[in-house]
């Protein structure tokens, strides 16, 4: 009995930075959320055809491009108190996989900030596959999850007179990612 097996081709996809954004939200004074983003980033996904369960995901953001709309705050975030951008110029996500869980799709992988690496798991929603007006194949994903900044050595804080702290430990990561077939 001769069985033929179909060989799937590894397809490479790159983040279309023009149509993607990487944001974060952190509570300030435990009252309101401050939103920021990284303006310079790259990322790749390699998978067999469009089979999400075979995806290998990697991502990198330049920490010096952090932007919250306030130059003084951005400078503090680039300083030794937080990202220390001169010493640690990149935040990375490697060994990423998309897995099914009881709560839906999850993006799991190794996040590294300030040379400290932890395995993270972020909920991901597949937005679909499409073709743009120029014939380019595109994939869309939405990510919305949390990490604890202290796990990555981002420990600076200031106690408030009335109680509580200036910056929350939890950081919400929100990303809208469009990938273009390479």
- pLDDT the model gives residue 164: 87
pTM for the model: 0.89
| Confidence class for position 7, pLDDT limits 50, 70, 90 | low
Instruction: Render pLDDT for 157-169 as a digit per residue (tens, 0 to 9).
Output: 999 988 889 999 9
Instruction: Render pLDDT for 70-96 as a digit per residue (tens, 0 to 9).
Output: 999 999 999 999 999 999 999 999 999
Q: Above 90 in pLDDT, residue 181?
A: yes
Q: Are 77 and 36 in contact (CB under 8 A)?
A: yes
Distance CA 73, CA 175 (A): 21
Distance CA 166, CA 92 (A): 26
Instruction: Render pLDDT for 98-154 as a digit per residue (tens, 0 to 9).
Output: 999 888 999 999 999 999 999 999 999 999 999 999 999 999 999 999 999 999 999
In the chain, the domains with their CATH numbers are 10-181 (2.40.128.110)
What's the mean pLDDT in 62-70?
A: 97
| Confidence class for position 6, pLDDT limits 50, 70, 90 | low
Please report, to the nearest 10 degrees, the dihedral formed by the alpha carbons of residues 83, 158, 25, 89 taken in order: 0
| Confidence class for position 8, pLDDT limits 50, 70, 90 | low
24 contacts: CB under 8 Å, gap ≥ 6: 35, 36, 37, 171, 172, 173, 174
Instruction: Render pLDDT for 167-176 as a digit per residue (tens, 0 to 9).
Output: 999 999 999 9
């Amino acid at each position: 009995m001769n069985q033929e097996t179909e060989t799937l081709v590894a397809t490479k996809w790159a983040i279309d930075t023009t149509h993607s954004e990487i944001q974060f939200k952190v509570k300030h004074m435990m009252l309101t959320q401050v939103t920021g983003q990284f303006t310079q980033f790259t990322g790749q996904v390699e998978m067999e055809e469009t089979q999400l369960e075979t995806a290998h995901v990697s991502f990198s953001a330049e920490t010096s491009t952090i932007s919250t709309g306030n130059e003084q705050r951005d400078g503090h975030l680039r300083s030794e108190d937080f990202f220390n951008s001169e010493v640690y110029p990149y935040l990375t996500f490697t060994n990423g996989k998309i897995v099914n869980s009881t709560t839906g799709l999850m993006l799991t992988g190794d996040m590294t900030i300030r040379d400290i690496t932890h395995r993270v798991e972020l909920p991901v929603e597949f937005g679909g596959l499409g073709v743009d007006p120029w014939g380019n194949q595109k994939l869309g994903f939405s990510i919305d999850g949390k990490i604890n900044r202290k796990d990555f050595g981002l420990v600076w804080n200031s106690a408030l007179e009335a109680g509580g702290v200036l910056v929350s430990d939890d950081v919400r990561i929100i990303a809208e990612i469009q990938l273009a077939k390479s």
